Amino acid sequence: MKVLRSIKSVLQFQIIIVAAMLVVTPVSWAEAMDSNSPEQVVSHLHESLIKAMREGAKLGYQGRLELLTPVINQTHDLDFIARTTLGPNWTQLNPAQQQTFTDIFRKLSIGTYAGWFKSHDGEHFEILERQVMPRDQIMVRSRLVPLKGEPVRFDYILRQGKDGWRIVNILADGVSDLALKRVEYRAILQRDGFQTLIDMLRKKIALTEEE
């Protein structure tokens, strides 16, 4: 329940209503479970998160970070997410700034997982269904179910690239993580400049280490 309360408190603090009209088409499980399917990518992430939670106290933050770093790199397209987060502002950065932002964004993304998923109280993940999305993307709907209380929904948006299916956005209880970051990061970049954005992200990384 600790991880559920942590996730819900972050969502309540950052909540922004994100509405989008999407055309979705359910796909059968027989069609879904092919080699390197979106479901397998999500399942690999879930298995690793549960392991981090079960061994959270023994591993500590650094141990969870080491456990989850290769998994997040394998299951997420963090370079794509970083570019998409900044949108048109991305092309206004020079190559060195783009690399700096991508590196810091990667550290924060992985650090956030290591900070949130640190204890286990009997929770388990369930994959519910796959839905076909616009732009050749797939949504894998799932939830984190506690022993008591309400589940937390996690809906993953995946796109297929040269390395296979990778997560490019996550909706936690209907709130788009990508949309939240777009609003926050672009506003800081446009108002205060690149270095202020990088300093803010570094502070966020430090906070994950304390959780």
Cite the beta strand spans of 48-194 per DSSP E: 124-133, 137-145, 152-161, 164-172, 175-176
Superfamily per CATH, domain 2-210: Tgt2/MlaC (3.10.450.710)
User: How are strands ordered across the β-sheet holding 175-176?
Assistant: 25-27, 124-133, 137-145, 152-161, 164-172, 175-176
What does the alpha-carbon distance between residue 49 and residue 124 come to, in Å, rounded to a whole number?
10
How is 83-112 classified by DSSP, letter by letter? HHHHGGGGGGS-HHHHHHHHHHHHHHHHHH
Residue 34 is predicted with a pLDDT of: 45
Percent of the chain with pLDDT over 90: 80
Q: What gap in Å lies between CA 76 and CA 137, rounded to an integer?
A: 14
Does the pTM exceed 0.95?
no
The 10s digit of each residue's pLDDT in 143-174 is 999 999 999 999 999 999 999 999 999 999 99
- Residue-wise pLDDT tens digits, 77-92: 999 999 999 999 999 9
For range 196-211, the mean pLDDT? 91
pLDDT at 14 over 60: no
Q: Residue 138 pLDDT more than 90?
A: yes
| Residue 15 in this model has a pLDDT that exceeds 90 | no
pLDDT above 60 (res 6):
no
| Angstrom distances, CA of residue 127 to CA of 65, 130, 142, 154, 160 | 24, 9, 4, 9, 19
The pLDDT of residue 13: 40
Does 20 have pLDDT greater than 60? Answer: no
Residue 209's pLDDT band (boundaries 50, 70, 90)?
confident
137 confidence band (pLDDT: 50, 70, 90): very high
Q: What does pLDDT average to over the chain?
A: 87
What pLDDT band is residue 18 in, cutting at 50, 70 and 90? very low
What pLDDT digit, counting tens, does each position of 89-135 carry?
999 999 999 999 999 999 999 999 999 999 999 999 999 999 999 99
